[in-house]
Structure 1
Amino acid sequence: MPIKLSLGDTERPVPLWALRLAKALPFVLLPHCLWRLPFAVDFQMGTIDPTAPPRPWWTPAYVVGLSVLTEALALLTMVLVSGWGEVFPSWVPFLGGRRVPPLAAVIPATLGGLALVALWDPMPLAWFGLLGFHEVAFTNGWWKLLAHTCISPVMLWGPIVLALAYAYYKRRRPA
């Protein structure tokens, strides 16, 4: 029998594994976000791309914003394990204080999880040059190892969101 832990503000107890996954997700994605930041100041992190066009003036804001957005979306998964994923906050016009229909959270979380799987999980195909996928070249193997180490955890993002969506659905479905 799995151990259950209630956050105190959910209708039914949240499974401990779901709570831990939701809290860990921002840290799982942090290496990827940190890897991306040096590109904002035009430090190439050992990559070689002779076909790359000159970077536009807004590149630093875009790169930093992408990392911030990634972490914000990771934090948003806490909705699936907390009470504010069950009842709309009081400040939401027309909906404040009402129950959140379970599918209003399950459908976007599932679609988002599937999109993340489609976006990130084919990365190993590029690493090995399979099915026409290719990755950027690196100046040496150490940069490549660092890149793969920092970027690999992002492949867990989609499956984690899908698992949390399933746990949310299972917890919120009618008895």
Structure 2
Amino acid sequence: MPRWARLAATGAALTNVPSALWRVAIAVGVPVGLAQSEYDQMHAPGWGSYYLVGLSLVSEFFGFLALGLVRSWGETWPRWIPYLRGRRVPVMVATTLAGLGALATTVFGALFVHTSINAADMAASAWGTWLLNIVYAPLLLWGPLLGAVTVHYYRRRTYVVQG
């Protein structure tokens, strides 16, 4: 496995961590530079915290899946998965899902940049806006990193040695 592919997969998996931690901070009521009206609108802390933590967990899960493109469990289903254990992961299923994920996260990143540049409807202090941009900026890399690793995975798994 080339070093660049391992680093790109790890990078894709880690791009979610700053924004997830930011959302969890909001969920537990840590001040992140937002106005009280923003916390109230998100119902955080409170029942809205479940959504914020859930969104963080889901994004971390999908980020973690990028590692499967460079690890053995991305080629053969792990033993703990009933009915699939030990079987080969279908290349087209993995690459199609990862490719769609790369496309979706790239579009999300572009929309985030467009939104943050054009107007923040959020009531936040200057440092709160700065922090928001800092924690979400790594998401710009998620799609391209995942796309590169997906292409590498496809090529590695479908390459047939010609004799």
Aligned sequence identity (%)? 32
For the aligned residues, what is the CA RMSD?
Answer: 2.4
Does 2:138 match 1:149?
A: no
Q: AA paired with 2:117?
A: F
2:12 equivalent in structure 1: 25
Q: Which ranges in structure 1 are unaligned for 5 or more consecutive residues?
A: 1-13
| Higher share in helix | 2
How far apart are residue 142 of structure 1 and its match?
1.9
- 1:69-99 deviation line (CA, Å, top 9, x unaligned): 2222211111100111112234444433222
2:43 equivalent in structure 1: 55
Following the alignment from structure 2 to structure 1, what is the Cα–Cα distance between the partners of residues 5 and 108?
A: 23
Q: AA paired with 1:68?
A: L
1:88 equivalent in structure 2: 77
How far apart are residue 101 of structure 1 and its match?
2.0
Following the alignment from structure 1 to structure 2, what is the Cα–Cα distance between the partners of residues 124 and 171?
A: 33
Following the alignment from structure 2 to structure 1, what is the Cα–Cα distance between the partners of residues 84 and 51?
A: 33
Does 2:2 match 1:15?
A: yes
Does 2:154 match 1:174?
A: no
TM-score by length of 2: 0.82
2:90 equivalent in structure 1: 101
Q: Which of 139, 149, 160 is equivalent to 2:145?
A: 160
Does 2:55 match 1:66?
A: yes
Does 2:40 match 1:40?
A: no
| Higher share in strand | 1
Query: Do the aligned residues in 1 keep the contact of 2:106 with 2:144 (CA within 8 Å)?
Result: yes
* Paired positions, count: 158
Following the alignment from structure 1 to structure 2, what is the Cα–Cα distance between the partners of residues 137 and 60?
A: 18
The farther-off stretch of 98-107 and 136-145 is 136-145
Following the alignment from structure 2 to structure 1, what is the Cα–Cα distance between the partners of residues 34 and 61?
A: 27
Q: Which of 118, 137, 144 is equivalent to 2:107?
A: 118
Q: Which ranges in structure 2 are unaligned for 5 or more consecutive residues?
A: none
Q: Measured at CA, do residues 98 and 41 of structure 1 come closer, stay the same or move farther in structure 2, by a change above 3 Å?
A: closer
Following the alignment from structure 1 to structure 2, what is the Cα–Cα distance between the partners of residues 19 and 30?
A: 18
